């Protein structure tokens, strides 16, 4: 599986994403955010970091990068699309995920484990899990 790992100005975890993808047998390639053709890829990862700065809603800027039209096209075909950290924010700002990110109540950084429940095993990320399994 060929996977595009999109790099925005300020991205700082792209090499971690490449390493992780290699560990599961994928063929990752770094792609600059100004790319307009991802037709040679089977999936796409928007890694973490600080695309366009370390502020809330910088994904609102990154969503206008030329590559995002291709990310949207790929998502529409059912290709795997993963947003990590700031990449998740970009996907929300682009309307590819529902909702919006908000400032927390005390305006301080919060880092704590979060539990999520597997509701489907039909994705590449959950195919080895079981429905109802709690992931931390």
* pLDDT band with cut points at 50, 70 and 90 for residue 57: confident
pLDDT of residue 54: 67
For residue 79, pLDDT over 70 is answered with yes
pLDDT of residue 78: 92
Residues 97-103: what's their mean pLDDT?
82
Q: Using CA atoms, how far apart are residues 76 and 96, in angstroms rounded to an integer?
A: 9
Residues 100-116: what's their mean pLDDT?
85
For residue 55, pLDDT over 80 is answered with no
pLDDT of residue 98: 87
Residues 6-11: what's their mean pLDDT?
92
Tell me the pLDDT of the chain averaged across its residues: 91
């Amino acid at each position: 599986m060929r996977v595009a790992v999109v790099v925005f100005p300020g991205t700082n975890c792209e090499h971690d994403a490449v390493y992780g993808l290699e560990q599961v047998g994928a063929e990752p390639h770094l792609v600059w955010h100004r790319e307009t053709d991802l037709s040679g890829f089977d999936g796409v990862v928007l890694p973490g970091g600080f695309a366009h700065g370390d502020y809330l809603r910088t994904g609102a800027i990154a969503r206008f990068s030329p590559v995002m039209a291709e990310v949207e096209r790929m998502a529409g075909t059912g290709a795997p699309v993963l947003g990590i950290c700031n990449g998740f924010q970009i996907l929300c700002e682009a309307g590819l995920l529902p909702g919006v990110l908000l400032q927390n109540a005390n305006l301080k950084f919060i880092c704590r484990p979060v539990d999520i429940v597997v509701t489907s095993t039909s994705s590449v990320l959950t195919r080895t899990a079981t429905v109802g399994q709690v992931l931390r």
